[in-house]
Amino acid sequence: MKPYFAEFLGTFWLVLGGCGSAVLAAAFPELGIGLLGVSLAFGLTVLTMAFAIGHISGCHLNPAVSIGLWLGGRFSANQLLPYIVAQVLGGITAGAVLYAIASGAPGFDVSAGFAANGYGEHSPGGYTLGAALITEIVMTMFFLIVILGATDKLAPQGFAGLPIGLALTLIHLISIPVTNTSVNPARSTGVAVFVGDWAVAQLWAFWLAPIAGAALGALAYKAIQPRMA
């Protein structure tokens, strides 16, 4: 059970740290951290957890990553469902804690977004469903390529958390205006269930696209993967 609990805690930290920075700090009067700060926050959650629990569970924190690692031959099929359940529960628990904190401020309105992912009128930049799907697929694809490459036995050992965390930061810098950046169904679910309404109605896209992107990333890395002599 230890790897599953580690995934629960790690995903909790990712959603609380990443979405919490967006909800609580992004636009804080005069001292807001903005999109750059939110992007860094997501990257830092993965970086810190990679060193904290990477040796326990592999630090997936993301159903799409677990599926991509399975397709890439790096993860056992019999652990896949328990990992995904642990990740989603961690995300929802973090969403509940974030809701409890955020609702303590005057004028809090969960329907304003609560860091939920969306497309169309619920995209930060008004991007279409097609643009959102392409963005999430491509970003998750390259995230998996970075993960698989950084954790390859031929890669420098002990540093994988750095490129993976930086990759997630870069992904957010690119795609927050399009979808608020998911690349992670557990992250999307963790806040969508508290927004309800449109966020839940659009949640399918933020499961489908990251999983499709992860599968493409696994296939792409297999195509370029170096072979040990």
> Residues 18-47: what's their mean pLDDT?
88
* pLDDT at residue 65 greater than cutoff 80: yes
pLDDT at 229 over 50: no
Q: What is the pLDDT of residue 77?
A: 93
DSSP H helices in the chain: 2-20, 34-57, 63-71, 80-102, 129-150, 161-179, 185-195, 197-201, 205-224
Task: Name the token pair of 118.
Answer: 């969306």
Distance from C-alpha of 20 to C-alpha of 42, rounded to nearest angstrom: 10
Number of compact structural domains in the chain: 1
Question: What is the C-alpha to C-alpha distance for residues 115 and 119, in angstroms, rounded to an integer?
Answer: 13
Report how far residue 43's alpha carbon sits from residue 20's, in angstroms, rounded to the nearest whole number.
13
CA distances in angstroms from 36 to 19, 173, 176, listed in the order given: 13, 7, 10
Whether 41 is covered by a domain: the verdict is yes
Mean pLDDT score across all residues of the chain: 93
The pLDDT of 82-101, averaged and rounded, is 97
Q: Measure the CA–CA gap between 229 and 216, rounded to whole angstroms.
A: 26
Cβ burial, residue 156 (10 Å; 0-12/13-18/19+): exposed
**Above 80 in pLDDT, residue 228?**
no
Assigned domain for 51 exists: yes
User: pLDDT, tens digit, for every residue of 105-125?
Assistant: 888 889 887 999 999 999 999
Per-residue pLDDT, 29: 66
Contacts of 106 (CB under 8 A, 6+ apart): none
CB-based contact 174:109 (threshold 8 Å): no
Average pLDDT over residues 134-140: 98
Average pLDDT on 195-207 reads 95
- 229 in a structural domain: no
Q: Which of 104-108, 191-195, 224-228 has the lowest mean pLDDT?
A: 224-228
Mean pLDDT, residues 130-146 taken together:
98
Residue with more model confidence, 194 or 113: 194
Residue 88 domain boundaries: 1-224
Instruction: Find the CATH number of the domain harbouring 161.
Output: 1.20.1080.10
